[in-house]
Every structure is written in structure tokens, then in C-alpha cells.
Structure 1
Amino acid sequence: MRQEFERCLKAAESGDADEQLNLGYMYDTGKGVRQDRIQAVKWYHKAAEQGNVEAQYNLGVMYATGEGVNKDDKQAEEWYRKSAEQGFVDAQYNLAEMYANGDKQDQIQAMKWYRKSAEQGDAKALNNLGVMYAHGKGVKQDLNQAVACFRKSARQGDADAQVNLGDAYYTGEGVNHDPKQAAEWYLKAAEQGDAKSQFNLGVMYLNGEGVNQDLKQAEEWFRKAAEQGNAKAQVSIGTMYAFGDSVNQDLREAVHWFRKAAEQGDVDAQFNLGEMYYNGEGVKKDLKQAEEWYCKAAKQGDAIAQVSLGTMYLHGKGVKQDLIKAEEWYRKAAEQEDAEAQISLGTMYYKGMGVKQDRNQAVEWYRKAARQGHKRAIQNLKDLGESP
């Protein structure tokens, strides 16, 4: 290996661009010589200045990552462009990524370079081209074209494209609605370890969509996704433990998974964890903890959490009684058409609790709940001599 390095060094010093590239690669990877990224940049630079397309690309990577040189996106873009204009597919893709996601975004340029890379068959570029068509970024929205791109990429084994193609079949966007095809593409991605598709496949097995209903299979796919940190899957596996669906009921395990998802900000998990603390299920009853988790979910707009929080403030359970806060939380949920919140808000107006007593407002909120079929609201209106 040392002899190969010496040979390569001699040729590189004599100006051979290919050997300069090779020498840069040896320094970059520590192959045949001690790894030295600064030396790697030096030799990539020499080869790149002679027009070596791969060296130009590698130099772009070094500037983009700040390895062996100060990070410099402008320099990275310049070297990617030189390489991309010579048709180097990886450079075309990276240049497109910079335009799509960088500080100075230009979706039209991103589209241009994704297309060039895709035309050479690059699977990731094909998928991203599909995303651009799907969302109308840098091009007129065209769901049929999006699906065509996803399909070409998916057939090459790109997991992201397989998920996107599965989503298209599931929603019927750009292709006929076909849950069976959706499940097949999700499975391909799931088997590659894609957490989103693992969760989606779990949902399909849970509901019997595109596959025969199989709670055991649902649990297995939810678990795979949950163990990778997918919050929705963590909620799903937690729910299965809470109710004993396909697994032995285990409320402590339910709390474990709800907590993992809740700490990621998942609103359903936050509410569920609040419920577990409120009822003392799988964890020691703790109304303060319940209030904290309800509050997190409520602030994200979860109507049921808002009602639960309102009720805690109304009765002073786990918090100091505060009728004004109770009314505020009930109102937030009531404005989302939550019937329980509407009747509670109506009652607060009827009794003048936390608000000025107002029979008309009470009737109005009772009617909103009654129109959703809430029996107590209907009865309250009858008691007041009012029609639903």
C-alpha cells in the first residue's frame, strides 16, 4: 500500500490530474497514508483546476462539510457547478439540493438540476423531482408526473420514493386510489427500515386496509417504527398496551411509550399521558403531572385536553380553582365545536361562573352542543323552555 502511495504521489507531483484525484482520495480516506483532510483538499484542488470532474465534486463536498477547509457554501456551489456542467450526476444532485434547501433557495434552479441528475437515472433525484411536481415547486404542479417520477425511483429501490408512491396510492393523488398497491410499496420501504412506512403499514394492518386485518402484524410494524423514534408509532404501540390489543394489557408499558412520544411533542401522546396521570393508570396518580401534560396538548390545540384542563380549573383538581381560566379553556375547545366544552361554557354563562351571568349566551352554547346531538344540552334547553 505504501508503494502505491509513493507511485501516486510521484505522478501527482508531475501534474497527472487523475493521480492528483487519487492522492486526494487516499488522504481523504486514510487509505495507504495517514488520514489528512487538509492534504486531501490540496490535491483535490490541483486536480479540480485541471478540470477533473470528480475532483471538482469532491472539493465541493469538502467546502460544503467544512472538512479540511473552512466551510464555505459559495465555494461548494461553485465547484459543484463546474462538475455538474460536465455532467457529473452526484454534483448535479448536490447542486440541486443546495438550491432546494440552502440559504439562498431557488426552486427553478433546483428543478433544473434535479432533472439533469434524474435524466441520468439517479434514484434520489427522481424522487425529489417527483416531490417538486407534487408540490408545484419550481414547476407547475403535476401529480401524474410526480407519480411517474416516484415510480421510476421506487423501482430502483429508493425507500423515500417507495413511501411517496405508497402515499399516492393511499390518497389517490395522481393515481387511482389503491390501498393494496399502497401496502405493497410501504412494505418495500418498511423492509429497508423506513420508519414512516413501517408506521403506515401498521395502520393498514390495524384497519384492514389493502391487507387482511392482523393486529399482531400491526403491533410488529408499530414496534419497529417506535423503536426508531417515530412518535405516531409510539402512540399506537402505547395504545395497544393500554387496551390489550394483540398484546397483554400493560399500563406501565403504555405509559413508557406515551412518554417517549409526548417528549417529542406529539399532542395525542401528551393528552394520553395526562390521562394516565389523572387516573393513576400505569403510574402513580399525580394531578399536577396530569395538568402539565394536558396543558402541553391544550396549547397545541387539542380540544379534549382543553376540556380536561378547563374541568380541572373549574373544580380546583390538581390546580388552584380558577373560573376565569376554566372559561378560557372551555371556550377554546367550544370554538372547535367540542360539544362537551360547549355545554360546560353554557352552564358557566347560565350560573355566572367566571363570566357575567347571561341566559342568552347560555342558550346559544347549549344549542351548539344540542345540534351535535348532545343529550344533556337538549335537556337543558327543554328545562329552559327553549327549542334545540
Structure 2
Amino acid sequence: MNEKMKPEICRLAGVSTIALVMMTSQGPARAEDAATAPWELFRAMKSGQCEPARAQLQTSSQAGDASARVYVGLAYLLGVCESKDEKRGVQLVRDAADSGLALAQDMLAHMYATGTGVEKNLASAFKWRLKAAEQGHADAQYSVGLMFKKGEGVAMDLRQAAEWYRKAAEQGLASAQNDLGVTYSSGEGVTRDAGQAVEWYRKAAEQGLAVAQCNLAYKYSVGDGIAKNEKLAAEWYRKAAEQGDAVAQFNLGLRYSSGQGLTKDFGQAAEWYRKAAEQGYVDAQVNLGRLYDRGDGVAKDARQAVEWYRKAAEQGDALAANNLGTMYESGRGVLQDYAQALRYYTIAARAGNAWGQRNLARLLIDGLGTPVNVVQAHAWLNLAGAADRPHPDAVVERDELAKRMTPAQLAEAQRLARTWQPGQLLGVKAGKS
């Protein structure tokens, strides 16, 4: 096994559409917050049209408009058409929050959560988030759910997390819908229900949320909570991939590579693997390296294969380390170097990769890059043959090697294999390396 063939599970949205972030870029999270004169005035100020917007916003704030006060506070906090004054900005937002404006409460919570203009304090962030959430502010409800899930500013409580996700999801917040789907899929805080997971993923996916599209595609690919449908899986992966989701890009590449749900096309596989690989997605880096190694969908290029294997290996991927070891052993794309081959096979072997364990054993048997050590070689072959994904030749090679060993050597090799733990060298106790 020299490439990744299993589709990757997607993930939580896990990021709140926090008021401060939204307001300073694309607007408030809630439509009712955005559809206000103060927001329009602040947006004009952000675009450089300071007057008369600044004066009008100040006038509304002084007349008691809490929403206007929020945006005047933001202007001071960020230095938008005003001299930057964080202390004054925070006070104006706090005044609006104290008046009961959910928008301001959510913003103040964000300030405490990130340490923007105030000392970071997650307990205070939770307090203000909860105030806004209890008024029905969907973004705050979702954020409260996230804080319960992560145990930030409040004791971790997965049941409460699910309840708050639901409140926001029922208001149509796509991130909350996705994460409620994840909750049903995992059974954390609720009874596991794959059908409900699919329903919530679909709601968020149809709003265009890439991670939800990816999650829905995965459900179609494995037939969990919905009839398995590789064609629909590919369609939803494509929607997410075109938005730049690296997991979806990898999974779409995997489908082009295998022909699941669409026509096999290694050129398209390489294109999508590359998009994910350039985002640092390790499985895509491994598979792109493999395509260069074989010349599938791209011109055969051992140096490019080495480059991508190395990127993945540097992220700790065992399969990539094994593949890089084979390049050093054979001298493909790099100068032949048995010591480097030994190094990368050892990394893969310690991580439990059966191919790395078997390849390390070969070098130990032949004394390439290391002194001959048939005892350790036998132990590694034993482990490679007993792995969850065993190497097909390991058991036969182990038994052939055993014919050359003394009873004492065999006993020691078996002891080493029996006491080995993932992440360790042979004969090293846990906690040492």
C-alpha cells in the first residue's frame, strides 16, 4: 500500500460567525442586525466615506440609539474615521451591551474571547455570549454551543452544546446546522442518529457551507443514514472542493483516481490532489507524490515524487516516510542513500506502518545502512505480518529468516515483537525513545 485510498471524514465548522469579525468585513451575522442605518453608515466609513456617515452615526449614538453606539465603539476600537481609542471603543460597546442589545453583548463576548481591547477572559466571554443567546441571537447561540463543547469559560457539557447548536440551527445558521449534524453522527451529547445527521448536513449544504457539503458527500459515500450513492457523493464533494475545502478536494481526487461515482481520470485526480496538497493536506501530498512516482495523470517525475513525499513525511505521515525511504533506497529522485532509507523506514515502522516495518527488516537482514541484525529484522517482520493492514510478504519472509536463526535469537525476536508499542523502537519501554 503506497497511497491513501480511504475517503476522509470531514469535520465541524467549529468557527463562530463572530459579530466583530463579520461587522468589519461583510456585515453582521443576523439579517436584522445588518438591516440597520447604523450598519450602513459604518460600512460607508469602512469604505473611506467618513462624512457625513461619521457625524450621523455619532448623532444617533448620542440620541440613545444602542445600535449606533455599537458602531461608534467599533470605529474607535478599529480606528475607522476616528482616532483609535480602544478604551473608549470598549466602553461604548459595553454601554450598549448593558442596555440589553444582543448584538453588543455578542460583540463584547468576542472581545473577551480574543482579548481585543480588554484582557482575555473566557468566563466573561461566556457570560456575555449567554446573555445574547438567551435573547435568541443565533450566532451567540452557536458560540455558546462551541464553548460548552470545548469547555471554554464553562464546564464542558456535550448535551448543552447540542441543545444550543439546535437553537441556532433551527434559526437557519448553517454552521450550527453542520455541527448539529456532526453531533448526531458522533452521538456526542445526543443519541446517535445518522439520518438526523444527514438531514442537518443537507440543510447547511444547501446554503452553500462547504464543510457541510463535504460531510453530506461522505455520508453518501459510505451509506450512513442514507442510501449509498457514489455519484451524489462525487457531486457534493465537487461543490465543496470548488469552494476550496481541502478534505473535499482530496476526496474528489480519490474518486477520479478510483473511478468511484465518475469516470476514472488520473489527470483530474492530480489536479484535485494538488489543490489540497498545496493547502498542506497530508494525504493529498502522499497521493500526488505517488502519481508523480508512477507517471499517472502527470509526467513521471521522481524528484517531484520525493518533494511531495517529503512534505507529507515532515508532517509525520508514516506512509509518506516509507515511500520516501524507498526513493532513497533505490536512488530515484535523490542520490541513493541507505542510511536515509533506514531513517525513513524506521520512522514509518515506529508509527506502525507495515510496509515500513517490512522494508526496515530487509535493510537489517542485508546490512544496508546498518549492521546486520536478524533478531530485530524478525521482530519487525512479525509485526508487519500482524498489522491491521499487514504486508502480504512479511510472514513468508519472517519464516524464511527464522530458518537461519538460533532458538535463542528466535525467542528474543518474539519477545521484542510482543513487547513493542506503537511509537517506540524495539525493546524500548513506553516513555523512552
The TM-score, its normalising length taken from structure 2, stands at: 0.79
CA contact (8 A) 2:375 2:410 kept: no
Q: Say whether 1:283 aligns with 2:331.
A: no
Stretch deviating more after TM superposition (100-109 or 272-281): 100-109
* Residue 239 in structure 1 maps to residue 290 in structure 2: yes
Whether the aligned pair in 2 keeps the contact of 1:327 and 1:354 (CA below 8 Å) is no
What are the Cα deviations for residues 45-73 of structure 1, in whole angstroms up to 9, with x where unaligned? 11111111110000000000111111111
- Greater shift in the superposed pair: 97-106 or 277-286: 97-106
Partners of 2:379 and 2:368 in 1: CA distance: 17
- Quote the residue 2:66 is aligned against: 17
Aligned residue among 210, 217, 222 for 2:261:
210
Which of 219, 222, 233 is 1:168 aligned to?
219
User: Structure 2: 5+ residue runs without aligned partners?
Assistant: 1-49, 415-433
The structural deviation recorded for 1:270 is 0.9
Match in the other structure for 2:84: 35
Is 2:203 the counterpart of 1:152?
yes
Please give the alpha-carbon distance, in whole angstroms, between the structure 2 residues aligned to 1:78 and 1:69.
15
Match of 1:324 in 2: 375
User: Using the alignment, how far apart are the partners of 1:3 and 1:250 within structure 2?
Assistant: 61
Deviations 1:82-119 (A, max 9, x none): 00000111111111111112343211111111001001
Give yes or no for the alignment of 1:54 onto 2:103.
yes
Q: Greater Rg, structure 1 or structure 2?
A: 1
Q: Is the 8 A contact 2:159 2:189 kept in 1?
A: yes
- Given residue 101 of structure 1, which amino acid in structure 2 is its aligned partner? K
Distance (whole Å) between structure 2 residues aligned to residue 133 and residue 292 of structure 1 = 43
Q: Is contact 1:349–1:355 with CA below 8 Å preserved after alignment?
A: no
Residue 418 of structure 2 is matched in structure 1 by none
Counterpart of 2:124 (choices 75, 88, 105) is 75
Query: How many angstroms apart in 1 are the aligned matches of 2:103 and 2:393?
Result: 65
Amino acid at match of 2:334: V
* CA contact 2:217–2:234 (8 Å) conserved in 1: yes
CA deviation profile, 1:243-301 (whole Å, cap 9, x unmatched)? 11121111111111111111111221111000000100010011111111111111111
Q: Residues of 1 paired with 2:136 and 2:101: CA distance? A: 12
Where 1:31 maps in the other structure, the secondary structure is coil
Within 2, Cα distance between the matches of 1:218 and 1:323? 41
Name the stretch that deviates more: 98-107 or 114-123.
98-107
Alpha-carbon distance in 1 for matches of 2:128, 2:67? 17
Letter in 2 for 1:344: E
Aligned residue pairs total 359
Q: In 2 relative to 1, CA 354–265 (structure 1 residues): closer, same or farther, beyond 3 Å?
A: farther
1:313 to 1:21, Cα distance in 2 relative to 1, 3 A: same
TM-score normalised according to structure 1 size: 0.88
Counterpart residue number, 1:352: 405
Match of 1:137 in 2: 188
Residue 422 of structure 2 corresponds to which residue in structure 1? none
Cα gap change, 1:307/1:354 in structure 2, threshold over 3 Å: closer, same or farther?
farther
What is the CA distance between 1:6 and its match in structure 2? 5.2
Question: Which of 359, 367, 390 does residue 308 from structure 1 map onto?
Answer: 359
Q: Give, in whole Å, the separation in 2 of the partners of 1:233 and 1:300.
A: 19
* Distance change in 2, residues 1:347/1:213 (3 Å): closer
Letter in 2 for 1:121: G
CA displacement 1:147-180 (0-9 Å, x = unmatched): 0000110000000000000000000000000000
Measure the CA separation in 1 of the matches of 2:401 and 2:264.
Answer: 45
Residues 324 and 355, structure 1, Cα contact 8 Å, conserved in 2: no
Residues 209-233 of structure 1: CA distance to partner in whole angstroms, max 9, x if unpaired?
1111122211211111111111111
Structure 1 match to 2:7:
none
What's the counterpart of residue 98 of structure 1? 147
Q: Secondary structure of 1:351's match?
A: coil
Matched with 2:163 is 112
**C-alpha separation between the residues in 2 aligned to 1:106 and 1:4?**
44
- 5+ residue gaps in structure 1? 362-388
What is the CA-CA distance between 1:241 and the residue it aligns to? 0.9
For the Cα contact (< 8 Å) 2:378–2:402, is it kept in 1?
no
CA RMSD across the alignment:
1.9
Partner of 1:64: 113
**Cα displacement (A) at 1:341:** 2.5
1:12–1:19 CA contact under 8 A, matched in 2: yes
Q: Paired residue for 1:297? A: 348
| 4+ residue segments displaced more than 6 Å | none
Contact 1:348–1:355 (8 Å) recurs in 2: no
What amino acid sits opposite 1:139 in the alignment?
A: V
In 2, distance between residues paired with 1:227 and 1:42? 43
**CA–CA distance in 2 between the matches of 1:48 and 1:70?**
17
Residue 369 of structure 2 aligns to a residue in which SS? Answer: coil
Larger displacement relative to structure 2 (35-44 or 310-319): 35-44
- Corresponding residue for residue 374 of structure 1: none
Structure 1 vs Structure 2: percent identity of aligned residues?
43
* In 2: Cα distance, 1:189 partner to 1:16 partner: 41
Superposition deviation, residue 3 in structure 1:
5.8
Q: Distance in 2 between the 1:79 and 1:250 partners?
A: 56
Moved more, 153-162 or 15-24: 15-24
Residues 350 and 357 in structure 1, CA contact (< 8 A), matched pair in contact too:
no
- Mapped contact 2:375–2:409 kept (Cα < 8 A): no
One-letter code aligned to 2:325: G
Matches of 1:353 and 1:281 in 2, distance apart? Answer: 37
Shift of 1:4: 4.5
Higher alpha-carbon deviation: 188-197 or 16-25? 16-25
Displacement of 1:15 in angstroms is 5.0
Contact 2:142–2:168, Cα closer than 8 Å, also in 1: yes
